[in-house]
Amino acid sequence: MPINIESTDMKNFIPAKKRINVSVGESVRTMRELQELSQAQLSERCGIAVAEIMAIETDSASLGIEHAKILARALHCHPAMLIFPGWELEQESAA
């Protein structure tokens, strides 16, 4: 059964505010932890060395596009979630 939201309800809508800034490494670690994977298990899934995963998660090493694609496949997410964790879409159209 569809939910009926009246237009007056939307007038009271207040968008959520961003509470914290998340680094690239924190986004990788968060996605890994949400799936209850250790760094070793993620390493086995994607073929990236544990030391490199550790360096990425601590922001000691940058996450390149190719590694982002590999990690995203292993974490079942879009690479943009890992590369651009703090990116916000402007209110006006980008087109």
61: domain CATH number? 1.10.260.40
What the block records as the tokens of 81 is 């979630």
* Domain membership flag for residue 77: yes
**Domain containing 65: what range?**
24-83
Query: What single letter denotes the amino acid at residue 91?
Result: Q
Specify if 29 maps to a domain. Answer: yes
d(CA 38, CA 26): 14
Q: Is residue 72 part of a domain?
A: yes
Question: H or E stretch including 40?
Answer: helix 39-46
Structure tokens at 51: 């030391």
The secondary structure of residue 76, as a DSSP letter, is T
Tokens of 4: 């009926």
Q: pLDDT digit string (tens) for 18-73?
A: 667 889 999 999 999 999 999 999 999 999 999 999 999 999 999 999 999 999 99
- Structurally, the chain folds into a number of domains equal to 1
- pTM comes to 0.71
